[in-house]
Structures are given as C-alpha cells and as structure tokens.
Amino acid sequence: MKLDPRTKLFLAIVANSVILSAPPVYSVLMFAVPAILLLFEKKWKFVLAFFSLYLAAVLGFEHLKTMDVGRVGTLAVSTMMIVSRMMPITIVLYYVMQTTKANEFMAGMSRMHVPNKVTIPLTVMIRFFPTVFDESRAIGNAMKMRGIRLFSLHTLKNPLTILEYRLIPLLVSITKIGDELSVAASTRALAPDTRRTCIVPIGFHVQDAVVFVYCIAVIAFVVVSHI
Amino acid sequence: MKITLKDVSFSYTDSIDDAILKDVNLQIESGECVVLAGESGSGKTTISKLINGLIPLYQSGTMAGDVFLGDKNTSDMTLAEISKYVGSVFQNPRSQFFNIDTDSEIAFGCENLGIEPEEIRRRIEKTVEDFHLESLLGRNIFHLSGGEKQKIACASVNATDPDIFVLDEPSANLDLKTVDDLAEIIKLWKSRGKTVVVVEHRLHYLRDIADRIIYVKEGRIECEWTPAELEAKGPEYAASLGLRSIKLVQLGGTGVSPAAQRGESITFRNLRFAYQRKFPILDIPELSLPKGKITALLGHNGAGKSTLAQLVCGLRGSWSQKRAARKLGTYLIMQDVNHQLFTESVLDEVLLGMNPKDESAALEILDSLNLKDYVEKHPMALSGGQKQRVAIASGVSSNRNLIVFDEPTSGLDYRQMLAVSATLKALANRGKTLFVITHDPELVLNCCQHVIRMDRGRIVEEYSL
C-alpha cells in the first residue's frame, strides 16, 4: 500500500495537530492510520510493541493519577503521561520516515512548487536520523568500554556530564559527516536551481483519497464535538 | 576529455602565501589513468578538488591560475554543470550517500541532471550488469559493508556517464579483496576511454592500470614515473619518499603456529556469536594471544573481525564473557577515534578512566606517547594521529592489559604508518598485549610478531613472523 509523499505530509500535519490539541481520545483516531499502514509494510513487531507500551502508559496513568503516590511515584506518573501523549506522534513520524525515499520526497515537494532551497535541507534531515542513531550507538559502546555508565554515583551527582560525554563526540562526528555529505551531493549535481526527475513514479491513487477524506472527517468531528 | 591545470596556486586561507599548491602545471590526456601520490598534506587531494570543481566553487580560499576541462574553464562553470563531465568518489563510504536505499542512490546523480526516468532505468540496469551488483539492489545502505558501499558510490557516478572520474583515496577503508573489485571497475572505465584520476596511498592495485604516477610534494609536482619505473627503483626508494609499496607486500609465515613457541598467553574460550542460530557470525573455540606481543588479525570485510573485537572487549556476548573482559582489562581503539574522546582537555581524557586519579602518572603516560605539549588542548582540536594516541593514552591509564586496535592505519601514508607502528611497539614494550585488526600488510611486517587470519567467522591460519 503506497501513499503519495504529499498525502503522507498531509497525514503527518493533521495527525500532529489533532494529537497535540485535542483530548487524548481523539489521538487514537489519528495514529490508527499509520499503525494500519505499517501493518501493510509488515512491521507488525513494531506496531505490537508500540501498542503494548502505549496501553501500559495510558492505563497506568489513568489508574494512578488520582492516587497519592509520593515523590518517586509522581515522577513515574508524569513520565507515563508524557509517554502516552508523545507516542502517537512518534508512530506517525516513524511511518513517514520508514516509507518515504529521499527522491520521492523531493519529487513530491517540487510538485507542490516548494523551492529546492527548502526541500534539500529537509531531505538531508531525513537522511540524517539513521546516521545519528548509528553514531550514537558507537559512542555508547565507547562509553561502556571506558566504564562510564549511564547510572552511577558520579553521573547521578553530575547529570550534565553524561550529556556532555554523549553530545560532544556526536556533534563532532555528525558535523564532519554532514560536511562530507554536502560535498558529495554537490559533485553529483544536486543544486538549488536544477530540475530533478524521479525514477519512482508518484501520483494520487484511491488509497490517497481514502486517507484525505478520513483526515478531513476527523478534523470535522473534532471541531463539531467541541462547539 | 583533456584536463589542464595552468599555473595553479591555491591556499585555504585569504593569503596566497600559505598556499598548499604552488604553480602547478599538469596536463592529463583523454583516456589516461593517472595516480596522484604523496604524503598526507602534500596537496594531492587539493589537485583532485580542482578537477571536480570543488575548488574554487565549493571550497573557500584564494586561487590563482586556471583549470580547464576540455577547453572550458572550471571557474566559468557551475558545480552542476561540471558534474556532467566529472564523477567523484570519496574516501569515506559512510558519508557520500544521500539516499537510504541502494537503487535510489544509483539513480541519484541522473535524477539531479534531469535525465528521463526511462533512460535512468536503462542506465541502472547496464551499470548493475557491468559491476555485478545484482545482490546489492534494494538494500538499505546502512546495512552494507564498507566495500559494498564504495561499489555503490562507483555505480552511482558511473550511471551519470561522465568523461572523467576523480577518486579520492577510494581504497582507504577496503580490504584486499574489495580493492581488487575496485581495480576491476577502474579498468572498465579506462577500457571505455574515460579519463581516471586517483588520489591514493595504496599503489599496488593500480600497478597494472595506471599510465602515470605523479608524485606531489609540498604543493608541487616533484616528479612522475610509469608504474614500472617506480617499481624498478625498488621499495627503499618509494619508502624514502613516504610512498606505500607498489608491489603488494606478501606476508609469509614461518609456518610455526604461535602455540608451539608460546610463552605466557591470554586465552579466550568459546567465542561464539550469531544473530540467528543457524548462521553463526563467529565460531572460535579458542583464541590465544601471546602476552606482551603484537598479534595481527587479518581477514576480509565481513569475516567477523569486528565482532571478534567486540566480544574480546566485552561490548557483546554473554554476561560472563563481559565480566571476563572487564576482569582482564581490555580496551578497543576504534577506527573512528572521534567516538571515544569525551572531555575538554587531553589531560582530563587520561584522568577520566584513572582510579585513583594520579596526575603525575597521567603526565608520564602522555609524555611516553609524545603528547606532552598538548596536555591542555581540546582532544577534538588535534590531528587524527594525535587523537588516536590520546585514545591509546586513556586505555593505558585505565590499566588495561589487552589493547585492541581496529584498522589503526587506514588511509595513512607511509610515514604516518611508521609512527603508528612505533607507538604499538612502545606499548608492547610496556608489557601490554596488542591485538591489531588490519588490512595493511606493511604495518604487519613492521611491528607484528604473530598473525591470525579469519574467514567466515573461523580462524583459518595462525603463524609467527
């Protein structure tokens, strides 16, 4: 089930605004869409893990929110709340990132007459997420080997040092990669003023129409039920 | 297409006085394959950037003189225009990909040039056939090995069908087998009449392909040879210029396995690892490393060397293996040392792992690694070799007995390789046991006493040098 990149963008925008502005019940209506689409991509493990964690967070929060749970408990409850509010957004973004190729995205943007100057940095950002994870993993390994643990007496006393240890090497290596990446891209004719083609055909199909209609229906529903 | 450099000087600063290139004149004929050799910092990469237009169109600095592609002056062209004629492959396979999947990556340059999708698909098909890439199609680039990534990079520039190919240290991260594949690709380009310019430290794989080897020193073209001429002058001559050997250095063992003449050794048992039970990545019943000696680990990309290193260092494996690694005290010097430098000064970096913190001991260690003058510097502000030594210092200071090196000399010239080799020897003299993963036969000959060769997750050969 392939959606046009423009549909995905629309879905992401609508889903995020509904999830962030309407009561949590409505967000189910929105993140069900990427969840179903991810099932088509055979990502059932991810979807299952997502729903288990989400349910645990929501139920935990609902169950505990009125109880007196002490200081540590309050920390746990507020974490649950943040998790239950943020997770729907992650699944939408995960779906878009996982299924959109850089060239499709650029083609979609250019069909909407968005200038390359805006599109290229956005595309680089998409390309960068996996890089950041990759680098971060390597740095985590290096820290483990040095015996710097995430939780120790030292880091509990100085929580900022752990941030520093992780961020400095990460920033240095991704700045370097970013620079080399833009050199490589500019020697391969990626420039703000060129007209690109795209080997992946993009265009609207029935499934795009369904998603569009559904999104508009949810917006209407949210608006009407709030008047 | 002919390449002409006319009285070119270039400086990375505002003043032409600190020029890295000085009055370079060079003509490369259409269909020639030329190697630019020389020590790091000699200016050879700068010449390659002049040809692919990164200088003056991307890199800021001061330039004098002209560069012509055919009869066009590059300073009158745009990078997009130049990329129709010149295709570039870079050193680091990690950072030249714009896409996440291989197919889109091969198409990327063509799409940017606005070529019709039908034509692009035809070109991809042809490229895949020529380069034997069938098994790499439709893959996630993040899951490919360094050699596979480099092949995709070559395929991607090949699809845009330029007249000139510029390769900047393309083999730096490749093993001997993938270097052969790279040689095949360059041969193919040459046979089609393309002009190929390769900036390289490793010369052996270009011996039968290159028409000329141009030696760059301190920003000037010092001299040039045919590969046969350079070979005839002998290995000592090449080494005196800081060049890697043009003949592939053959490692020959004495045939005696280390076990036979073993003194004390560090032994690991049951080094096994698999993502899926049926496909073991690593299956080594016993690994013995002679104490206080340097052991080299050879093998192709994907033979399981890095996994072995991670097991030995306790970054992977069962809980008891990790505990054993901690007890023994192992330390890994990563290929990208940027990942393992955390603090704000070289001294802090060394003190970080020390328990108890002893500043005079830390200074002594830094002194022994020639880092005394950089004690207060930020580790990230140092050169690559210095960073590597800081990482080593932090391993030594935390009292680790076994230090594992992952490709310590990839992309280094002869002199830098000798410096690393000297550091390794000094560490062994301190009583450390060293285990060096490497593709570099010259490093092995220079400092290693034992060699272990791996293939498909098993040790297939062990010998002493």
So what's the pLDDT on residue B252?
66
* Residues B426, B454 within the same domain: yes
For chain A, what percent of residues have pLDDT higher than 70?
A: 97
* Residues B224, B313 within the same domain: no
What's the mean pLDDT in B437-456?
91
Q: Is the pLDDT of residue B43 over 80?
A: yes
Segment B322-355, tens digit of pLDDT: 888 888 889 999 888 888 888 889 998 898 878 7
* Residues B31, B168 within the same domain: yes
So what's the pLDDT on residue B262?
58
Q: Collect all residues of chain B within an 8 Å Cβ-Cβ radius of residue A189.
A: 79-80, 83-84, 109, 112-113, 160
Bigger pLDDT: B122 or A29? Answer: B122
Q: Collect all residues of chain B within an 8 Å Cβ-Cβ radius of residue A199.
A: 103-104, 107, 110-111, 117, 120-121, 124
Select the residue of B95, B99, B336 nearest A180 (Cβ to Cβ). B95
Residues of B numbered 109-168 whose beta carbons fall under 8 angstroms of chain A's beta carbons: which are they?
109-117, 120-121, 124, 142, 156-157, 160
Q: Is B275 part of any domain?
A: yes
Beta strands in B305-422 (DSSP E): 330-333, 402-406
**Amino acid at position B104, single letter:** S
So what's the pLDDT on residue B258?
52
* Residues B181, B228 within the same domain: yes
What distance in Å separates residue B50's CA from the closest CA in chain A?
A: 12
Contact A101 B353 (CB under 8 A): no
Q: Is B24 part of any domain?
A: yes
Q: Collect all residues of chain A within an 8 Å Cβ-Cβ radius of residue B162.
A: none
CA-wise closest residue to B410 among B89, B175, B166, B183: B175
The pLDDT confidence band at residue B220, using thresholds 50, 70 and 90, is very high
CA-wise closest residue to A188 among B104, B175, B210, B66: B104
Q: Is the pLDDT of residue B255 over 60?
A: no
CATH number at residue B315: 3.40.50.300
**Amino acid at position B134, single letter:** E
CA-wise closest residue to A136 among B338, B102, B345, B351: B338
Q: Is B211 part of any domain?
A: yes
The complex's ipTM? 0.81
Q: Collect all residues of chain A within an 8 Å Cβ-Cβ radius of residue B92.
A: 177, 180
Give the SS3 label for residue B86: strand
The pLDDT confidence band at residue B253, using thresholds 50, 70 and 90, is low
Any chain A CB within 8 A of the CB of B92?
yes
Q: Is B185 part of any domain?
A: yes
Q: Is the pLDDT of residue B254 over 70?
A: no
Pick the last residue of a domain from B205, B240, B275: B240
Select the residue of A101, A142, A199 nearest B339 (Cβ to Cβ). A142
Segment B112-160, tens digit of pLDDT: 999 999 999 999 999 999 999 999 998 888 888 888 899 999 999 999 9
By CB neighbour count within 10 A (0-12 exposed, 13-18 middle, 19+ buried), where does B261 fall? exposed
Interface contacts A/B by beta carbons within 8 Å: 163
Q: Collect all residues of chain B within an 8 Å Cβ-Cβ radius of residue A135.
A: 339
Q: Is the pLDDT of residue B189 over 90?
A: yes
Strands B212-217 and B220-225: antiparallel
CB atoms within 10 A of CB B10: 25
What domain range is B150 assigned to?
A: 3-240
Any chain A CB within 8 A of the CB of B76?
no
Q: Is B252 part of any domain?
A: no
Strands B265-276 and B33-37: unpaired
Q: Which of A100, A104, A119, A145 to mutate to test the interface with B (most CBs of B within 10 A)?
A: A145
Q: Is the pLDDT of residue B16 over 60?
A: yes
Select the residue of A101, A164, A181 nearest B95 (Cβ to Cβ). A181
Select the residue of A131, A145, A196 nearest B112 (Cβ to Cβ). A196
Segment B404-424, tens digit of pLDDT: 999 898 888 888 899 899 989
Contact A198 B117 (CB under 8 A): yes
Select the residue of A145, A189, A193 nearest B315 (Cβ to Cβ). A145
Any chain A CB within 8 A of the CB of B107?
yes
What distance in Å separates residue A37's CA from the closest CA in chain B?
A: 20
**B176-197 in b/e burial notation, b at 16+ Cβ within 10 A?**
bebbebbbebbeebbeeebbbb
What distance in Å separates residue A147's CA from the closest CA in chain B?
A: 7
* Residues B319, B216 within the same domain: no
So what's the pLDDT on residue B260?
46
Q: Is B247 part of any domain?
A: no
* Residues B384, B278 within the same domain: yes
Residues of B numbered 325-364 whose beta carbons fall under 8 angstroms of chain A's beta carbons: which are they?
330-332, 334, 336, 338-343, 352-353
State residue B8 phi and psi, 5-degree precision.
-90, 130
* Beta carbons of B451 and B321 less than 8 angstroms apart: no
CB atoms within 10 A of CB B318: 12
Chain A, nearest residue to B84 by Cα:
A189
Contact B332 A145 (CB under 8 A): yes
What distance in Å separates residue B340's CA from the closest CA in chain A?
A: 5
| Euclidean distance between the first and the last CA atom of chain A, given in angstroms as a whole number | 36
* Residues B218, B268 within the same domain: no
* Residues B81, B140 within the same domain: yes
Read off the pTM: 0.86
Residues of A numbered 108-127 whose beta carbons fall under 8 angstroms of chain B's beta carbons: which are they?
123-124, 127
Contact B108 A188 (CB under 8 A): yes
Pick the last residue of a domain from B212, B240, B268: B240
* Residues B273, B179 within the same domain: no
Joined together, the tokens standing for residue A156 give 């509990």
Select the residue of B90, B331, B352 nearest A184 (Cβ to Cβ). B90
Contacts of residue B183, defined as CB under 8 A and 6 or more positions apart, other chains included, come to: B205, B206, B208, B209
* Beta carbons of A99 and A8 less than 8 angstroms apart: yes
Asked if residue B356 has a cis previous peptide bond (ω within 30° of 0), the answer is: yes
* Residues B262, B143 within the same domain: no
**B37-53 in b/e burial notation, b at 16+ Cβ within 10 A?**
bbbbebbbbbbbbbbbb
Give the SS3 label for residue B370: coil
Contacts of residue A1, defined as CB under 8 A and 6 or more positions apart, other chains included, come to: A37, A40, A41, A207
Q: Which of A92-96, A186-190, B207-211, B252-256 has the highest mean pLDDT?
A: B207-211
Contact A101 B99 (CB under 8 A): yes
What's the mean pLDDT in B41-68?
92
Select the residue of A123, A172, A195 nearest B338 (Cβ to Cβ). A172
So what's the pLDDT on residue B425?
92
User: Which residues is A136 bridged to in the sheet?
Assistant: none
Q: Collect all residues of chain B within an 8 Å Cβ-Cβ radius of residue A101.
A: 99-101, 104
Pick the last residue of a domain from B240, B267, B294: B240
Contact B342 A169 (CB under 8 A): yes
* Residues B233, B287 within the same domain: no
Q: Is the pLDDT of residue B283 over 70?
A: yes
Contact B117 A180 (CB under 8 A): no
Q: Which of A99-108, A174-183, B211-220, B345-354 has the highest mean pLDDT?
A: B211-220
Q: Is the pLDDT of residue B191 over 90?
A: yes
CA-wise closest residue to A182 among A98, A124, A135: A124
CA-wise closest residue to B113 among A120, A103, A110, A189: A189
Contacts of residue A124, defined as CB under 8 A and 6 or more positions apart, other chains included, come to: A178, A181, A182, B98
CA distance B325 to A147: 12
What's the mean pLDDT in B445-460?
90
Any chain A CB within 8 A of the CB of B46?
no
Bigger pLDDT: A111 or B263? Answer: A111
By CB neighbour count within 10 A (0-12 exposed, 13-18 middle, 19+ buried), where does B271 fall? buried
* Residues B374, B426 within the same domain: yes
Q: Is the pLDDT of residue B47 over 90?
A: yes
* Beta carbons of A49 and A30 less than 8 angstroms apart: no
Domain count of the fold of chain B: 2
What's the mean pLDDT in A63-76?
81
* Beta carbons of B42 and B17 less than 8 angstroms apart: no
Residues of A numbered 130-189 whose beta carbons fall under 8 angstroms of chain B's beta carbons: which are they?
130-131, 134-135, 138-139, 141-148, 164-165, 168-169, 172-173, 176-177, 180-181, 183-189
Q: Is B54 part of any domain?
A: yes
Q: Is B128 part of any domain?
A: yes
Segment A87-128, tens digit of pLDDT: 888 899 889 888 888 889 999 999 999 998 888 888 888 788
